[in-house]
Amino acid sequence: MIRGDRIFGAVMIVLALGYILTASRIGTSFMSDPVGPRVFPYMVAGVVILCSVSMILRPDPEAEWPAGPMLLQLGIAFAALIGYAFAIKPLGFILPTTFVAGILSWQIGGHPARAAISGVGLGIGLFVLFRVILGLGLRGLPAGWGF
């Protein structure tokens, strides 16, 4: 029986071993102290491995994981957020925000029309709030479009 806990534990063991390997390559400099820059990372990785082993040997009851369509939905949300992180700089605030807020709204509420309205509302409303009222340095529209 494979459970989420076991998978997480196994992944963490691999990560911890990679962490130890990386830590062992930390360079030394002329400034040094009895402990050095590597010991604490080793200790941390050791704790992770111990805990991972415990999670693999004694996993808790399995959580309900999203399946099929829901996983796709979460994937869409993830992709939208990643896209937003890249888009906000070149495209300004309003367009990406309208688009991504609309997608998220549609995913949570399920009504395309309402989602479109809340996307546009949030895109413009938050811009007014942050730029005009709070005075943060945001650019509204793509470079060269004014604002």
Partner 1 sequence: MEILSNLAMGFSIAATPYTLLLAVIGCFVGTIIGALPGLGPANGVALLIPISFSMGLDAIPALVLLTSVYYGAMYGGRISSILLNIPGDEPAMMTTLDGYPMAKQGKAGEALVVSGVASFVGAFIATIGLMVFAPYLARVAFKFGPAEYFALYLLAFCTLGGIGSNNQAKAAMAAAIGLGIAMIGLDKTTGMPRFTFGELHLQDGVDFLVAIVGLFAVAEVFFFIETHGKNSAIGVKLGKILVPWRMLKQTTGAMLRGTGIGFVAGVLPGAGASLGSFLAYTAEKSAARDKSQFGKGDPRGVAAPEAGNNAAAGGALVPMLTLGVPGSGTTAVLLALLLTLNITPGPLLFTERPEVVWSLIAALLIANIVLLLMNVPMVKVFVHILSVPAWVLLPGVTMVAFVGIYSLTGSSFDMLMMVGFGVLGYIMRKLEIPTVPVILGILLGNAMEDNLRRAMVLSDGDWTFLFSSPIATGLWIAAVLGFVAPVFLRRFLKKPPMPETEPKVGD
Near partner 1 in 34-73, by CB under 8 A: 34-37, 40-41, 44-45, 47-48, 50-52, 54-55, 58, 60, 63, 65-66, 70, 73
Instruction: Report how far residue 127's alpha carbon sits from residue 147's, in angstroms, rounded to the nearest whole number.
Output: 11
CB 142 within 8 A of CB 91: yes
Which of residues 130, 140, 141, 142 is near partner 1 by CB under 8 A?
A: 130
- Return the closest-CA partner of residue 63 out of 5, 9, 7, 13: 5
Among residues 109, 112, 143, 145, the one that binds partner 1 under rule CB under 8 A: 109
Contact 67, 59 (CB under 8 A): no
| 95 near partner 1, judged by CB under 8 A | no
Cα-only R_g, the chain: 23
Candidate residues 85, 112, 145, 147; the one interacting with partner 1 per rule CB under 8 A: 85
What is the closest distance, in whole angstroms, from the C-beta atom of residue 144 to partner 1 in the complex? 19
Residue 118 lies near partner 1 (rule: CB under 8 A): yes
Tokens of 68: 């099929």
Q: Does 13 bind partner 1 (CB under 8 A)?
A: no
Alpha carbon 86 to chain centroid, angstroms: 14
